Every structure is written in structure tokens, then in C-alpha cells.
Amino acid sequence: MSEKTIFKKIIDGEIPAEVVHEDEHCLAFHDVAPQAPVHVLVIPKKEIRSWAHLTDEDGPLYGHMCLVIQRLAAELGLDGGYRVVVNCGADAAQSVDHFHFHLLGGRKFDWPPG
């Protein structure tokens, strides 16, 4: 990646974020344009462009992030359920070229998502 993404700037502390989790592998923070009462982004500290760019080497990181999401959902009181979303590529509305999960909850969701 040539130019720093907004997520890399958040990781580097250049842009503030309302952080709810941080460890050596990932960072989780509230989305500035929430689509639900709870909308947290979970991003790896390793720069990975998108879901399509994950490799076998990233398996442990991916698994760790999934467990972080599970713990955050419990900590944030999402007992009634929650949605985990990954947008991959422009046609799927990926707006930042840095792989990330959206943890959404606090309201009922419809299906299909649209």
C-alpha cells in the first residue's frame, strides 16, 4: 500500500478513534457513521487490502479477530443477536482499502440485507 489509509492513520495514532479494544494484532473502534446503535469496526494492525487479499499465513490473525468480535458482542450487550459484515471490493461498498469487519447490533435486522 502506497498511501496510508484512514485505518492505518488510526492505528498509528494520527487520527483519534473511540477505541473499544486494542491488542498486538487488531484494533476495534466505534464507526463515525454508525448504521446501527452499535457499530464497531474491527481491523487488523497488519495492512491487508481486503478479504480477497487474505492468505493462509493470515489464518491465525483472522481467527483471533473473530474471537475478539465474539467477546466485544458480549461486552457490548448484544445478547439478542448481531451481524458481522465484510465488504470486499468497490461493488460491495468497501470504502477503505484495509480489511475490516463491521460488528452491528442493538436493533433488529432484515433479510436480505440489500
Catalytic residues: 100
Q: Please report, to the nearest 10 degrees, the dihedral formed by the alpha carbons of residues 25, 9, 18, 52 taken in order.
A: -50
Q: What angle do CA 33, 47, 81 make, to 5 degrees?
A: 45
- The side-by-side arrangement of strands in the sheet containing 38-44 is 19-22, 26-30, 38-44, 101-105, 82-85
